Amino acid sequence: MENPVYVTRPNLPPLEKLHPYLEEIWKNKILTNNGPFHKKFEKELANYLGVEQINLFANATLALVVGLQAMRITGEVITTPFSFVATTHALKWNGITPVFCDIEEKTLNIDPEKIEALITPKTTAILPVHVYGHPCNTEKIQDIADKYGLKVIYDAAHAFGIKMKNKNLLLEGDMSVLSFHGTKLFTTFEGGAIICKDEKLKKRIDYLKNFGFADELTVIAPGINAKMNEFQSVIGLLSLEIVEEEIANRKKVAETYFELLNSVKGIRVFNNFEDYAHNYSYFPVLIDEKVFGVSREKVYDELKKNNIYSRRYFYPLISNMPSYRSLPSAAKENLPVANKIGEQVLCLPIYGNLDFFHVKSISKIIKDLRG
């Protein structure tokens, strides 16, 4: 490939649309602290996502940290090792012990059948991730949470724009956290949001993300600075106008991959989206070396030699990282599925304006490697 092909590229609004907004910011000189564009974006985003209220954040990691604190989560939290490090780091930053639960083959999300065995008197919550935008089994997770009096916080960093048939995925559990990072389907450069259903909780989150200020003189808790600024909010407003088109374009890319890779023995693609409209935020494939004849590493290297930068999201597993591997729940024998998937997974490039020539070339390079 003449130019590098990355795992993702942001979909940016037309530059000329930004200028009037910047002029407005330059005129009114409000740059941050719940300014007019922040308010507008909060409203329009809530409307787009079909939720009542939303708290905007500087990024999803801070949103997770603040969200857990706002809900007063302590002790142990059951979570998945198959995610981006930020999921577990947010627990650590709150002094909470992560307890890793294995994942299910079908969705690569936390396996609800394995949660109960990990509950102890110290467990206060479950922190699942809708990995790659594959929805978790929220009914089963909620049943367990209700039975044991646990809170559920969804890391929904990959789940923007998922449309379920009978429910709003972002309203499942007690809280959902979205990411608007530059590598995400919907971006504000850096950014994130919390969606919760309780108005009092929303208020507490707003205080905590602004140093704990409830009014000019009252600080209710040692909060942090995690606010989204006016520039990010403007990008968010403009990105809302183009996100549906981005999803539709990504769908076409994904369908081409499906067509070209679906029947390759030893390669698993994820195209079983019967119950929901997917957002195509990632395109993970699983490479079973024994059947395919070639390792995931070899495929990754071969693509790289061709100037194509796939990513091994999420390898190594969080549970195998130095900060976490000494935890009893991190032992490999407790997490057989996650460890297997971690060795097999490769995320192929996907974004709205990825050239079909590239999709075909990537698929051909992979197929030609077959042992």
Interface residues with ligand T4K (CB under 6 A)? Answer: 6-10, 59-61, 83-84, 86-87, 129, 155, 157-158, 179, 181-183, 192, 309, 311, 313
The nearer residue to ligand T4K, 90 or 234, going by C-beta atoms, is 90
As measured in angstroms, the least distance from the Cβ of 252 to ligand T4K is 20
Give the nearest distance from C-beta 314 to ligand T4K in angstroms: 8
Minimal distance, residue 331 CB to ligand T4K, in Å: 23
DSSP string, 17-64: HHHHHHHHHHHH---SSS-HHHHHHHHHHHHHHT-S--EEES-HHHHH
Strand-pairing partners, residue 160, are none
Give the C-alpha separation, 234 to 12, whole Å.
12
Measured from the CB atom, the residue of 60 and 292 that comes closer to ligand T4K is 60
Residue whose CB is less far from ligand T4K, 41 or 313: 313
| Residue 320 token pair | 């195998």
Q: Name the strands in the sheet holding 283-287, side by side, starting at the edge strand that comes first in the sequence.
A: 267-269, 283-287, 345-348
* Closest to ligand T4K by CB, 61 or 232: 61
Is the Cβ of residue 71 or residue 131 nearer to ligand T4K in the bound state?
131
Q: How far is the CB of 263 from ligand T4K (least distance, A)?
A: 29
- Gyration radius of the chain's alpha carbons: 21
Of the pair 58, 237, the CB lying nearest ligand T4K is at 58
Kindly state the smallest distance separating residue 230's Cβ from ligand T4K, in Å. Answer: 18
Q: Which two tokens stand for residue 92?
A: 């650590």
Mapped onto helix, strand or coil, the DSSP state of residue 336 is: helix
Single out the residue of 131, 134, 128, 191 nearest to residue 154, CA to CA: 128
Question: Taking the complex as a whole, how short is the minimal distance between the CB of residue 318 and ligand T4K, in angstroms?
Answer: 10
Which position has the token pair 């591997």?
Answer: 325
Residues 6+ apart with CB under 8 A from 358: 1, 5, 308, 349
| Smallest distance from ligand T4K to CB 354, Å | 12
For the bound state, the minimum distance from the C-beta of residue 59 to ligand T4K, rounded and expressed in Å, comes to: 4
- Compare residues 138 and 292 and give the one whose CB is closer to ligand T4K: 138
Distance of CA 294 to CAs 161, 263, 286, 288, 297, Å?
35, 16, 12, 8, 8
* CA terminus-to-terminus distance, the chain: 23
The Cα 69–Cα 263 span in angstroms is 46
Task: Output 86 or 269, the one with its CB closest to ligand T4K.
Answer: 86
Length, in residues, of the chain: 371
Q: Which helix (H) or strand (E) holds 250?
A: helix 243-261
Q: Residue 7 CB, nearest distance to ligand T4K (Å)? A: 5
Comparison of 78 and 292: residue with beta carbon closer to ligand T4K:
78
**8 Å CB contact between 208 and 89:** no
